Amino acid sequence: MNNQFPITKIIDDDGTLLDTSYEEQLTEALSYHLYHHMYRIRTFDRKAISLQRQGRIGTYPPFEGQEAAQVGSAYALGEDDWVFPTYRDHGATLTFGADMTRMFMYWNGRVEGCVPPEGKRIFPAAVPIATQIPHAVGAAWAEKKKGTDNIALVYFGDGATSEGDFHEGLNFAGVFQTPTVFFNQNNGYAISVPFEKQTNSATIAQKAIAYDIPSVRIDGNDCFAVYFTTKEAIDAARKGKGPTLIEAVTWRTGAHTTADDPSKYRPEHLGTDTVDPLERLERFMKTYGHWNDEKIAEIEQTCQAEVETAVEQMENASQPNVDDMFNHVFAELPDHLANQKLAYEAFLKEES
């Protein structure tokens, strides 16, 4: 089955162009746009890990190593499309237009972090595995029934394909030909369980056969392969040709979350032969004359400044109203919660 779904690449690990049919489309402008977004989200990611280690935000799921998969796919979206992320796809949502300050607030336990900018159709991050998939299919179906050409792009990991929501979503999308792009980031592990122990399928892509949905397997660290493959799937969905399943084979360099120790279940040598997606793009840009030290330095300085400003805004935001936990759930507050609220109010008076 691996032979039926070979991994599609446009550039190799050294940044050399493999598929010349894309040569004219691999412009300097596209290279810089992708590099900027990838460097930007990596800067965010590393800062978030640092903040968690300092106790300034809560548990955080890093995504370093998956920047090409997240940026390349999100960059292909249109302004009015939908995005349904997992808890690890903040790089994709930032690329699509999510607010960075609110993103830090989300990982600081603030409800404001779930609110997208005005006009952006970004679903709140789904922490339960695969629950966002039926939601994405439903949104896509609604767009189809309304007669728009908007699509829904839904992210999920390899472990999600073992959940019922994945199969229900693909089945519904296949039956009703919804404009949905299913984007799987296969990083080899479903938390601590290696790919081969959570599914007997040789690939994720082959799972689409049961639902008669087109699928493709791509190199998730090749930002060009990700961008153009996702764009083609989106274009097909807009034209009424139905859903596509994309399997982006990638590698997450760090832990599942900052509360995790991957050395307990991931052999040390795994991933050492994987070329960093940013380094791979850099090699391409240098080989084909797109690299400019001054432009790159400007990108890096801009991203660093944006991240530091977002952290400052997050930490200077007004404190949340604890009453919100009590006031907006029940029509009539149950006695045990009413007692908790009174106890908290008494605590505040004592502290003041």
Proportion of the chain above pLDDT 70, given as a percent = 100
- Structural domain contains residue 2: no
Closest by CA to 225, choosing from 69, 4, 57, is: 69
In a domain, 326, yes or no: yes
Answer yes or no: is 161 within a domain.
yes
Same domain, 145 and 66: yes
Is 256 one of the catalytic residues? yes
To the query of whether residue 33 is one of the catalytic residues in this protein, the response is no
pLDDT tens digits, residue range 102-123?
A: 999 999 999 899 999 999 999 9
pTM of the complete model? 0.94
Do 222 and 289 lie in one domain? The reply is: yes
Shared domain for 205 and 342, answered yes or no, is no
Spot the catalytic one: 40, 256, 280, 283: 256
pLDDT band at 1 (very low <50, low <70, confident <90, very high): low
DSSP one-letter code for 205: G
SS3 category, 193: strand
* Residue 57 and residue 133 share a domain: yes
Q: Is the pLDDT of residue 228 over 80?
A: yes
pLDDT of residue 324: 81
- The residue from 217, 252, 280, 283 that is catalytic is 252
Q: Measuring CA to CA, which residue among 144, 39, 127 is closest to residue 84?
A: 127
Confidence of residue 267 (pLDDT cuts 50, 70, 90): confident
Rg (CA), the chain: 21
The phi and psi torsions of 118 (rounded to 5 degrees) equal -55, 130
Task: Look at the chain and report how many structural domains it folds into.
Answer: 2
Percentage of the chain with pLDDT > 90? 88
β-pairing, 193-194 vs 189-190, is antiparallel
Q: Do residues 275 and 349 both lie within one domain?
A: no
Q: Is 209 within a domain?
A: yes
Q: Do 335 and 230 lie in a common domain?
A: no
Instruction: Tell whether 325 and 211 lie within a shared domain.
Output: no
**What is the tens place of the pLDDT at every residue in 135-166?**
999 999 999 999 999 999 999 999 999 999 99
> Which pLDDT band holds residue 83 (cuts at 50, 70, 90)?
very high
Same domain, 99 and 203: yes
Same domain, 296 and 350: no
pLDDT tens across 305-329, in order?
A: 999 999 999 999 998 888 888 888 8
The answer on 339 and 200 residing in a single domain is no
Sign of the Cα torsion 169, 175, 176, 180 reads: positive
**Phi, psi for residue 48 in degrees, rounded to 5:** -65, -40
The reply to whether 198 falls in a domain is yes
Q: How far apart are CA 266 and CA 59, in angstroms?
A: 20
Average pLDDT over residues 35-40: 98
Lowest mean per-residue pLDDT among 71-75, 185-189, 324-328 = 324-328
- Mean pLDDT on 235-259: 96
Q: What is the pLDDT of residue 329?
A: 82
Q: H or E element: which one contains 8? A: strand 7-8
- Cα 187 off chain centre by: 12
CATH number of the structural domain spanning residue 46: 3.40.50.970
Domain that holds residue 345: 321-352
Q: Quick check: is 1 in a domain?
A: no
pLDDT confidence of residue 86 = 98
* DSSP-H helix ranges across 185-292: 195-198, 223-238, 277-287
Angle CA(292)–CA(297)–CA(302) in degrees, nearest 5? 130
Same domain, 135 and 203: yes
Reply yes or no on whether the pLDDT at 269 is more than 80: no
Do residue 18 and residue 44 come from a single domain? yes
Average pLDDT, the chain: 95
